[in-house]
A and B are shown apart, each in its own frame.
Chain A
Amino acid sequence: MKKWGVLWLVLLLAMAGFGLVLPGNDAWAQKTLRIGELAGLTGGIAPYGSQLHNARLLAIEEINSKGGIPVGSEKCKLQLVHMDAGPPAEAIKVFERLLTVEKLNLILDGAYSSVEYALAPVLKAKQAIVIWSGGNDPGTTVGVPNAFRNHFDGGTPFAKVNEAFLKKMGIKKISTYGQQGHSDFKRFVEEHLPKVPGFSVLSSDWFPFGEKDYFPVLTKIKNLKPDAVITHGFFTDGVPLMKQAREVGLFPGPLFLHQFAAAPLMMDEASRKVWEGSYEVLVSSLAGAAEPPPKSKKFVDDYLKKFGDRGLGGWAEVGYDSVYILAKALEKAGTVEDIPKIIKALHDLTIGDIPQLLQDYKPGKIFDAEGQAYPKIVVMEWKGGKQIPVFSDYGL
């Protein structure tokens, strides 16, 4: 019996020597902090949600390769626990699961405004923090103290940038054609545009998700002879829309200002061609531009190396920034559990605190009192299958 006991002891020591039984040094010393992600990986949002998710993985990899983030007396590595948000009703269940089953209280989102609207009342009653990086509707942070958004404000600032650009281009008569179900665009069309002095809205039309035949409405718009057409929705519907605008003889003609958040690497070459000569405004990142600034260039190179050359667009940098913003707030708060303290740290964050940020945020504090950030909104022109920045502003 004694002989067997000695033998077991020798075996255990040998296994420990090979690192099979006892945890390694890192694991003893370091905690892993799990961050939830309500990802938009299926449905119309998928081309946007996937790039956001990938960029977050990239940011987390960078942070972990440098040893993680210091929180209080210890250093934490980060781990992203993602779940697909699905449609709004489904998203509430997924969100509850992240909070209760996965026991996560720090959540990043990659969905769209309708999902955020559904979640905001639920979130308000929870001891958790969410940083919205998907949708742009400002109403989803207002009155929700634990909700923040590092994507641009799709309300007044966005409307002002559209307005300033259209005025710069000498536009007076406007037609709009947007996808149904985008509350921010509906407000833009019905509340903002008609009140802008000097603008006359000739028509406001809508198409459902997955519309196929845009000919009738494009024919109508052609007959109205507007100076500009503003479009909005998921870019997968924008491609056939623009193709048919050319077929019906509407474009080239009036200025087309798209709110599709489309970027060259999100689509194939044939699709890129249909946008030629039109403008994209639903973006606050230069990652998709023909010549991104140096910090974005490094990010783009790393992204393409890791995830291939399909899918990168303007949402990726928003996702990347969200990780660094949360990481810095945790570091400053010195806790991962005290939610009010982390909320305060998020409100106190300034641009200078986080040199890794890729979007060009308004100088000073990152978030306003309602938890909204103000990255510069950019207008890009489609030229030779690429996007060239032609105008940008904070819209303040």
Chain B
Amino acid sequence: MIQVLVNGLVNGAILAMMAISLTVIYSILRVPHFGLGGIFVWGAFTAYFAVTLWNLNFLTAVLIAAGCMAVMGVVIEKAAFKKLRTATEDAMFVSAIGVLITLENGALLLWGEQARSIPVPQLDYIFSIPGVLRLPAMRIVIFAVVALAILGLHFYVKKARMGKAMRAVAQNRVAARLLGVPIDRVASYTFALGSAMAGVAGALVGTAFTFTFDMGSMSILKAFVVVVLGGLGSVGGAIVGGFLLGVVDSFTLTFLTSEYKNLVSFSLLILVLVFRPSGIFGQRLGRPQ
């Protein structure tokens, strides 16, 4: 039972990381950035090349992936979303899907379709409690990195000047602009932050498991389920939702069915939408008249 729970928590940590990156951008800028699925893929490839071509250690590779994806996030914001800032969320959603398709197919064209894994022989050992739990070191690292990223995000948003500006924009963009908050810079920083987190998630998945050019679409869909589950725009909800879905998936696979794994998670999404449309931690909204 402990093994099943821990399996779910590891998966949940990655889901939470993706969901947080989606939530950060959505809650501050109201951009449903599904293109983060593509960033997730490119993050994995960046870390892979950092380790295999440049012979860098795993941690440096993860940092490089985060840095490169932050820059890519800013470029994407300028190219695909800046002009849509006053447009509806539907328009931004279409643009985000375009980004996702472009990034995934770009990765296919550049690096092909073969499945890869980031080799980290230093982490090639298993933590074991006989009869209770076996956990590869890489899965422990996933926990640690995700926890660090969440803590870092928390302190940045609470303490840093730009973090405060982000919160101001999230609360009321017009008022923030009137008070002199530079919206363009906030948008760039927000995209950089969200994209860096998605890039780190990609690097972790690429190391613990395998990765392919098309893994972003399903991952971002699952992250979206987590976001809705936790409550649209709630970082706390994304964390809880991520772990919840990870554990539900793990128990479903182990005790119910492996054939309909996604059916269970997406059914959960529908149930939440029916009975609590605002999600677990979302603000209750009145039914539109």
A residues at B contact (CB < 8 Å): 42-43, 46, 177, 180, 205-208, 210, 212-213, 215-217, 219-220, 236-237, 239-240, 247-249, 270
With A219-B7, A239-B210 known as contacts, the answer to whether A212 contacts B259 (CB < 8 A) is no
- Residues B233-262 near A (CB distance < 8 A): 249-250, 253-255, 258-259, 261-262
* Distance in Å: Cβ of B14 to nearest Cβ of chain A: 9
Total interface residues on B, using CB and 8 Å?
Answer: 31
Cβ contacts under 8 Å, B262 to chain A:
208
Q: Ordered nearest first, which 6 A-B pairs have the shortest CB separation?
A: A212-B209, A216-B253, A205-B258, A220-B254, A206-B259, A215-B7
Cα distance A215–B114 in the bound complex, in angstroms: 22
Distance in Å: Cβ of B188 to nearest Cβ of chain A:
32
Q: Is the CB of B4 within 8 A of A46?
A: no
CA distance A46 to B212 in the complex (A): 14
Q: Mark B153-197, 1 if CB is under 8 A from A, else 0.
A: 000000000000000000000000000000000000000000000
Partner of B209, one of A42, A220, A240: A240
A-chain residues with CB within 8 Å of residue B3 when the two chains form the complex: 219, 248
Contacts of A237 in B (CB 8 A): 115
A197, B49: Cα distance in complex, Å: 52
B223 to chain A, nearest CB (A): 14
Partner among A46, A205, A219, A249 whose Cβ is within 8 Å of the Cβ of B128? A249
Asked if B63 is at the interface (CB within 8 A of a chain A CB), the reply is no
Contact A220 B255 (CB under 8 A): yes
User: What are some 18 contacts across the A-B interface (CB < 8 A)?
Assistant: A42-B113, A46-B113, A180-B259, A205-B258, A207-B258, A208-B262, A212-B205, A212-B209, A212-B215, A213-B11, A215-B10, A215-B250, A217-B258, A220-B254, A220-B255, A237-B115, A247-B134, A248-B134
Inter-chain CA distance A384–B117, complex, in Å, is 22
Question: Could you tell me if A219 and B119 are in contact, using CB atoms closer than 8 angstroms?
Answer: no
Minimum CB–CB distance from A238 to chain B (whole Å) comes to 10
Contact check, B113 vs A43: say whether CB atoms are below 8 A apart: yes
Q: A248 vs B255: C-alpha distance in the bound complex, in angstroms?
A: 17
Write the nearest CB–CB distance from A217 to chain B, whole angstroms.
5
B214 at the binding interface (Cβ < 8 Å): yes
Contact status of A210 and B249, CB under 8 A, knowing A42-B113, A219-B7, A236-B114? no
- B279 contacts A by Cβ under 8 Å: no
